[in-house]
Amino acid sequence: MSDEGYINSSTLYKDNEEWKDITPIYPSKEEQSAVKIAASQDFIDVFAYFRAILIIKEKSERVLKLLEDCVRLNPANYTVWQYRREVLKELNSDLNAEMKYLDGIIEETPKNYQVWHHRRVIVEWLGENSAPYELDFTCDIIQDENKNYHAWQHRQWVIRTFKDNLNLLDSEMSFSLRLLLEDPRNNSAYNYRYFLLTIFDKTEDKETIDIEINLAKRFIEGMPNNESAWNYLTGLLLSNGILSDTGVVKFVEDLYERTEETKRSSFLLAFIADIMLEKIDQQIEAVESAERAKQLYTDLISLDPVRHNYWKHQKLLVDQMLNKTTYTTKMV
């Protein structure tokens, strides 16, 4: 494994002259009887030496190589990664080289929580200059699998950590838009875009929100059954309510009217029903709004039978809201 002669991973450590000074600690009979694990000879050998160096707290270049073998055999072992960080810090190791090493590990095991956590710590040590590299790296991982939760979380962490020192909003919005143009159903890209609006305090910026609303509307027009776009539109209106944007109300009503009854999206019907609930809550044509909401939920029970219990619940909610509104009005 090493050109420097410390270890050859094809050779057992117990047979390696460089490690003759270490007494390996093998699993005891009690351990083996308590939890039987089918482990290879290689695995037993490597972790016996890892146990030993943990006891004596050795931190050296050969230990780093040993830890690489541990990672090769069990890349999700927390203790291995934690000790590797201790050794790296003790030796004042080249952290850029460590990042290159991590590139390969993540490419092999892209959903390994421990390696992503280790990477985050190394990036913290390197500082803001490492941010552009991290954005490029996570971009590559996401291109391979756009639902990789760890890559998205890492990218968000990079933005959150370095946003005050680097101008990242415009480039990241462009990045998420590119992904949405490639796949308008990419829910992760929508979530990331909303994260950007939140972290850069743009959720109350009317100009920005208007642009995003128009973007969501364009995606919905192209794919009325695109749940991700509907969720994004709903999120953009969360603070002030759907009724606060007359353009959105007109947009969905127009979409409803020009779509054949048998081809109407369940998300369209549910969105209009939400508008009716807002009207009831604000005592705007409450009785008429309640009747329409119940009809929409009735249609949804047929259109979306998987969630029929939820739609039935919503119909009951309409009556509860209407009764509450009527009672409040009488009290006033």
Residues in the chain: 332
How far apart are the C-alpha atoms of 128 and 286, rounded to whole Å? 54
How far apart are the C-alpha atoms of 72 and 297, rounded to whole Å? 54
Catalytic residue list contains 202 = no
Query: DSSP assignment of 321-332, as one string?
Result: HHHHHHHHHHH-
Closest CA to 192 of 142, 238, 239, 264: 142
Q: What is the DSSP letter of 21?
A: T
Closest CA to 187 of 135, 235, 248, 136: 235
- SS3 at position 24: coil
Closest CA to 123 of 85, 70, 71: 85
Closest CA to 203 of 246, 177, 232: 232
Q: Residue 14 corresponds to which amino acid?
A: K
Query: DSSP assignment of 183-249, as one string?
Result: -TT-HHHHHHHHHHHHHTT-TT-HHHHHHHHHHHHHHHHH-TT-HHHHHHHHHHTTTT-GGG-HHHH
Catalytic residue among 89, 100, 111, 324: 111
Closest CA to 209 of 180, 179, 242: 242
How far apart are the C-alpha atoms of 251 and 169, rounded to whole Å? 28
Closest CA to 51 of 15, 89, 77, 17: 77
How far apart are the C-alpha atoms of 176 and 190, rounded to whole Å? 7
As annotated, the active-site residues are: 111
